[in-house]
Amino acid sequence: MMLVFIGFTWLQRPSDAEMAEYQRQLDSIEAAQKEQQRQDIASGNVDTLSSTEVAHLNNILENMPADNATINNEGVILSLKDGKLAGTVTVGDTTVTWDEVVADTSANPAVHNLAVQAVQRALDVYAKNGSFAASLTGTEQMVTLENDSLKVELSTKGGIIARATLKGYKTYKSPQLVLFDKGDNDYSFTLSNNTQRFETKNFYFEPKKVNDSTVLMNLTLEGGAQWGLKYTLVPGTYMVRMEMVQQGMNRLIPLNINLVDLDWHQKISRHEFGKQFEERNSGIYYKYAGKGGDVKYMSETGNDEEEVKEKLKWVSAKNQFFSTVLITDSVFSTAQMTSNVTNDTPDYEKYLKDVTIHTMVPYSSDKPAPASFYFYLGPNRYHTLSSYDKFSPKEDLSLTRLIPLGWKLFRWINTGVIIPVFHWLGKFMTNYGLIILVLTIIIKLVLSPLTYKTYISQAKTRILAPDIAAINEKYPNQEDAIKKQQKTMELYRLAGANPMGGCLPMLLQMPILIAMFTFFPSSIELRGQSFLWANDLSAPDKILEWTGNIPFLSGTFGNHVSLFCLLMTVTNIIYTYITTKSQPSSNAMPGMKWMMYLMPLMFLFIFNNYASGLSYYYFISLLITILQTYSCRLFVTEDKVRATMAANASKPKKKSKWMQRLEEAQKLQQQQQRQQAKAGNAKRRR
């Protein structure tokens, strides 16, 4: 069918002559339109405003407050002077008066017609905004609220938080950290009646400072109605209370309107030197409403779009170490969210993501405070975020989920053990390099019983290596595999060793190692903290850097070498050498040892772009592990193992149920092999 369709299309295509004729007709129409425009200008034909349009403009201005009775839109500036319309219209570089706009003739018809069209567009804008039209004009002002932690600047254009500065923090190129700047953070409520929609971003609000920590952004509407947003900076916190307040709005908004739209757009700013890693930890996070509501997030590595139909409690534009979170006292009914990376855009160096969120909140025009919110504008610090659950007494806000601490088991280790110990050590020490060192020693001490069992098992296996090699030489054939296994197991039993004894303790330690892998890159406490040659423990400690990237490795290795990562790799190779020397050699898998050496090199490429604090922790941990290994050898000697074997050999052999089942399985396997061998011999005789 596809071939038939393609063939039919090819046969029906227009000829070259038909295409040329079609293009000639288009050119003729365009030429005729240009000629008509030229004749209109030459003859002085101009557009005019109708009497209805002029009357409508008069009516709009008459209903505006006397102190702000001005239409100002895209170069159109009109007002009433002695009861008559007056003003100017600017088109490009040319400005014409109102009298010239309403004249029937003009020396420059082209400019005149553009001016008339500009007035008609302005009339359309003001007519659509009805009772809010008076607030379309004004002068933007900035009002500041600040406490010891946060400084916010409110704009009268849209009545929004236009700029937020976090005190006590800095960026990789600025002594102060601006969470978002003017133009980077916009949000707007859309009120509507049965025929009109009013977007608050278009209006100029009147600021009224209630006290040092509270400002009311207010709109005065027809008939004395009031609508506004009241902001209160909560003392000593990163929280800003935002309340929607109103009076007499039921005369403008019907009571059957029970939802108001909220549109939020933010360009998430870059703050860290390592943009690539920061970008991988930024994006949109959101929490479902209700107790136990889960926290989800959109893709952090690429563009993403999502529609959530369930109710939400908060939405957030999250950075690696800082977040803007909008929390509602009620619920967000639904949400449509998009997140785009800034790659291949002019904003690449300045921003990480461009995010938009469209949602709705419950509304009633007869309530004095129909909706209220909190803005969290602050760091992703665990103890800070956990303390803000008090702002929502009915449910846990779970703001700490903004910090990526791994899956449930690893997160529990971080939140229940690592973070409390880390925070406690911070009360006594100020150098975070030393804190990491002490934390590593504490972890090693706690894990020492498991570690000791691992080392004992490895040491016994190392001592028995010659005996195992002798057994392998004695039973080289495949048909003797079961006999060889029996002898090996007997040797292990006499020595009190278990070939798998080192695996279980290692597995029990793995969750802690993985928990630390998620903890260090997310710990804002390490941000900006120097130690030895590392200027920032939350970023790579670059000792060598170059322009460009290594092919196929730009996303992992980067364009630098991190010294702590290099030291960790070398130490890991040394530890691997020590470990492999303690294992019995085997010809079954000759390439396995080389694979073990390959793993540390893989870690070099993986960790080179990670926080230097993480590489430093693994480096110290491996050093301590090597010391523990050699210390253990002082307690486990060949003489002691041989003595244990002799003592066990003299004892009555009491087989465990597991060993009995193993021997039964081995006997059954031997029987099957003998039967297969007999059957093979019988076939060969035939």
In DSSP notation, 212-253 reads TTEEEEEEE-GGG-EEEEEEEE-TTSSEEEEEEEEESGGGTS
Q: What is the pLDDT of residue 28?
A: 62
Of 495 and 339, the one with more pLDDT: 339
Q: What type of residue sits at position 232?
A: T
The residues, ordered by sequence, that sit 6+ positions from 91 with a Cβ below 8 Å of its Cβ are 75, 111, 114, 115, 118
Of 44 and 77, the one with more pLDDT: 77
Contact 274, 609 (CB under 8 A): yes
185-192 sheet: strands from edge to edge: 197-199, 185-192, 259-269, 351-362, 335-341, 304-308
pLDDT band for 478, please (50, 70, 90 cuts).
Answer: low
Q: Cα separation of 523 and 529, whole Å?
A: 11
The residues, ordered by sequence, that sit 6+ positions from 366 with a Cβ below 8 Å of its Cβ are 249, 250, 255
268-290: average pLDDT:
88
DSSP state of 591: T
Contact 159, 217 (CB under 8 A): yes
pLDDT band for 332, please (50, 70, 90 cuts).
Answer: very high
Residue tagged 């209006």 (tokens): 203
427-444: average pLDDT:
89
Contact 112, 92 (CB under 8 A): no
Q: Cα separation of 314 and 101, whole Å?
A: 51
Q: Cα separation of 166 and 65, whole Å?
A: 39
* φ, ψ at 371 (rounded to 5°): -150, 150
DSSP-H helix ranges across 44-102:
51-62, 98-101
pLDDT digits (tens, 9 = 90+) for 115-132: 888 888 888 778 777 778
For residue 624, the surrounding DSSP H or E stretch is helix 612-635
Six-digit token string for 137: 């004009």
pLDDT digits (tens, 9 = 90+) for 597-641: 777 788 787 787 788 888 898 899 889 888 887 777 777 666 666
Q: Cα separation of 97 and 86, whole Å?
A: 8
For residue 3, the surrounding DSSP H or E stretch is helix 2-12
> Is pLDDT at 529 greater than 80 in this prediction?
yes
Residue 366, classed as helix, strand or coil, is coil
Residue tagged 């469209």 (tokens): 358
Q: Cα separation of 615 and 664, whole Å?
A: 49
Contact 549, 559 (CB under 8 A): yes
> Which among 296, 300, 274 is positioned nearest to 286, based on CA atoms?
296
Of 529 and 19, the one with more pLDDT: 529
pLDDT band for 10, please (50, 70, 90 cuts).
Answer: very low
pLDDT band for 245, please (50, 70, 90 cuts).
Answer: very high
Q: Cα separation of 481 and 487, whole Å?
A: 10
Q: What type of residue sits at position 282?
A: S
The residues, ordered by sequence, that sit 6+ positions from 437 with a Cβ below 8 Å of its Cβ are 620
Q: Cα separation of 618 and 640, whole Å?
A: 33
Six-digit token string for 378: 């602050």
> Is pLDDT at 239 greater than 80 in this prediction?
yes
* φ, ψ at 156 (rounded to 5°): -70, -20
pLDDT band for 359, please (50, 70, 90 cuts).
Answer: very high
Q: Mind listing the domains of the chain with CATH numbers?
A: 51-128 (no CATH), 142-404 (2.70.98.90), 413-644 (no CATH)
Tell me how long the chain is: 686
pLDDT averaged over every residue in the chain: 80
Q: Cα separation of 341 and 300, whole Å?
A: 9
For residue 571, the surrounding DSSP H or E stretch is helix 563-581
Give the largest Cα separation in the chain, rounded.
128
Contact 232, 314 (CB under 8 A): no
The residues, ordered by sequence, that sit 6+ positions from 17 with a Cβ below 8 Å of its Cβ are none
Q: Cα separation of 298 and 580, whole Å?
A: 43
Q: What is the pLDDT of residue 656?
A: 55
DSSP one-letter string for 109-153: HHHHHHHHHHHHHHHHHHHHTGGGGGGG-----EEEEE-SSEEEE
> Which among 145, 138, 368 is positioned nearest to 248, based on CA atoms?
368
135-152: average pLDDT:
90
> Which among 399, 398, 416, 414 is positioned nearest to 517, based on CA atoms?
414
Q: What type of residue sits at position 223?
A: G
- What end-to-end distance do the CA atoms of the chain give, in Å? 61
